[in-house]
Structure 1
């Protein structure tokens, strides 16, 4: 194996690890913790799954804004209130958290394990 091939593998591995790292300034909670916060009217609850996934199984109080529409629809959210984000497994909500952070939201919470962990 050449040095070039090794370098490519290292760069790809580093990129994959970087994508998996928690976003700085984003709070992470379990679904158990989410249950104790669900009735807080000072928070915004966003489900970034597709409309089909959302219709199939969702948590009362969550609004469906699919990840691919979040950038354009985030203006409907208040930057003064905490945003709690969920998806199916935690991957899309992690991407959503990064996107919201870049758009200037300060209080963002990602639900670890997403709907897969919800019981």
Structure 2
């Protein structure tokens, strides 16, 4: 067994949270990596980790029937939310060394750790993320979006996305579309480069 589980942060659901850098430092053979995102997400811009087992959240209980209960399992999703729910399910099934990747693939990408991406599209710069946010929310005339600098920082863009998520504009007609835009721009921000060239 690796020290990954032992060094994880215990959670009330009986599993442990592990940081992306802790997982990245883990050598072979390592824990079972189970990605609970939907198949289309695995092929998206956030990519996937090498060696994952795909098991969408709705199928985790069924897939886990074939796994040893004492195996070290790290559950992964986009942000760490769905994988936390899956981790709780595995604990309920009797698994004893269950971990959740804190921050999910967003945190993994923000830490500039290696991923497998099937898309051949160039990754955006921070300025391109700003432009995407402005164009997607143009009709809403949100002053904070329009006031973003030409070369925004990752922190400025992240804080603005958090503010918009927590306090959507008044009179919003398409709430689902607005939330989808924030999610898509957050994904772009996670993979964006700081400077003028995409990583």
TM over 0.5: yes
1:37-81 deviation per Cα after TM superposition (whole angstroms, max 9, x unaligned): 2x3325211000001111221000111110011111111222121
User: TM-score, with normalisation over the residues of structure 2?
Assistant: 0.46
Determine if the alignment matches structure 1 residue 41 to structure 2 residue 26.
no
- Aligned residue in 2 for 1:30: 19
**Bigger-Rg structure (1/2):** 2
CA shift digits 1:65-115 (9 cap, x unpaired) = 100111111112221211011100010000001100000000001110000
- 1:59 maps to 49
Aligned length: 97
Q: SS at the partner of 2:73?
A: strand
Runs of 4 or more consecutive aligned structure 1 residues displaced over 3 Å after TM superposition: none
Alignment partners' CA distance in 2, 1:52 and 1:97: 21
* 1:85 maps onto 2:72 in alignment: no
Aligned mates of 1:28, 1:40 — CA distance in 2: 20
- Between 23-32 and 97-106, report the one with greater CA deviation: 23-32
Residues 14, 88 of structure 2: 8 Å contact kept: no
In the alignment, structure 1 segments of 5+ residues that lack a partner are 1-21
| Residue 60 (structure 2) aligned to one of 60, 67, 70 | 70
Relative contact order, higher structure (CA 8 A, sep 6+): 1
- Which residue of structure 1 lines up, in the alignment, with residue 182 of structure 2? none
Which has more strand, going by share of residues? 1
Q: What TM-score do you get using the length of structure 1 for normalisation? A: 0.75
